[in-house]
Structure 1
Amino acid sequence: MHSLTDNALMLQVKSGDLGKLGLLYERHKKRLFGFFYNMNGNASLSEDLVQNVFERMLKYKHTFTGDGTFTAWMFTTARNVNYDHHRKHKPTLHQNDVTTMEYKLQDPEDVERGMIKEDENSLLQQALKKLAPEKREILVLSKLKEMKFSEIAQVLGCSEGAAKVKAHRALKDLRTVFMQLETG
């Protein structure tokens, strides 16, 4: 059963075998959660949005053709779910979930390195949040979700070259914002 490709599973869902959607959910729930969490920083909201993606995939299963990759189709759906949610809930501000940091007490240098890394990660998250949603989205897809530019192009509805240019520009903007936060 695990030897079936995502495209083959989704085509079976499209033809009425709705149980196959559960396999797709198990394969991709963590990846989608990571996408949403990197976009909004809220774990509870991210879990809800993952569920919404699979509900929408079920509702619009007839639009899946099998051309291109399932991943690109899924992330296009995820992107639409994310936009729809933020359009409906514009006035609501979401705070980041409280995270905890563990310290290794054996070696003080490990603690210091951990604190430096945590500070850098915090600055990176702040910098990502300051970017326009479109730029944050392409960075999350290309760098954090490690999607190929051909898939990103399908998700964004542009050419592969345009996706690369958008990613490069977004990365350049992220670097600028990060440096400003680091020196400020």
Structure 2
Amino acid sequence: MLKVKAGDLDKIGLLFERYNRPLYGFLFHMTYQRETSEDMVQQVFYKMLKYRHTFTGSGEVKHWMYSIARNVLKDQVRRKKLAMSGESVEVVASHVAAGLTPEEHLEKKQAKLALQKAMARLSEDYREVLTLNKFQELKYHEIADILGASETAIRTRVHRAMQELKSIYVRMEQ
């Protein structure tokens, strides 16, 4: 990113290759909308180019990138009031390719939808920390850097988010 900041704009392609999939995963788990998430990934990289002068190099580029992604997501939510969507064609195809029976596919689909519904009922803060920790597999100190909080606060937030998710899931089952 320091090379991009210095004017070597071709290097943004390397950053895109390295980070577009994890970034897409984060945005998708926050919205459950494939096309919207793809668009937001593009917006993040556009903003990285546009605001490259603000990158200080003092932390990891992915922390700066996720901060931009969070802002893009907030803008998108304000603009369009995102709603959670259902199952994608890719999920069905992956289950068929894995040799699942129709019953097994239905069970996986129902479990995934239940988790999505439970996640959707979480506050945005809880959904965000769970997505970063459980789906993006970021460590607590990395999430703390992205969110501007202490590692202890993030540990507590993840723990409380998991408790809340379990509670919501149990209520849904009843």
- 3-state SS of 1:65 partner: coil
Residue type of the partner of 1:34?
G
- 3-state SS of 2:92 partner: coil
1:129 to 116, 120, 126: 120
Residue type of the partner of 1:70?
V
Return 5+ residue gaps in structure 2 as ranges: none
- 3-state SS of 1:46 partner: helix
Q: CA deviation at 1:181?
A: 1.2
Aligned to 2:54: 63
Residue type of the partner of 2:148?
G
Q: Which structure's residues are more often helix, by fraction?
A: 2
Note the alpha carbon deviations across 1:71-119, whole angstroms, 9 max, x for none.
Answer: 11111110111011111223x6464464463566xx8x85434332222
Query: Is 2:164 the partner of 1:173?
Result: yes
Return 5+ residue gaps in structure 1 as ranges: 1-9
Q: Check conservation: 1:43, 1:97, Cα contact below 8 A.
A: no
Query: Is 2:42 the partner of 1:51?
Result: yes
Tell me the TM-score normalised to structure 1 length.
Answer: 0.85
Note the alpha carbon deviations across 1:100-154, whole angstroms, 9 max, x for none.
Answer: 63566xx8x8543433222211100110011111111110000000001111001
Percentage identity across paired residues of the two chains: 41
Q: Check conservation: 1:127, 1:174, Cα contact below 8 A.
A: yes
Point out 4+ residue stretches in structure 1 off by more than 2 angstroms. Answer: 92-104, 109-118
Larger radius of gyration: 1
CA distance in 1, matches of 2:101, 2:42: 38
1:28 to 19, 22, 25: 19
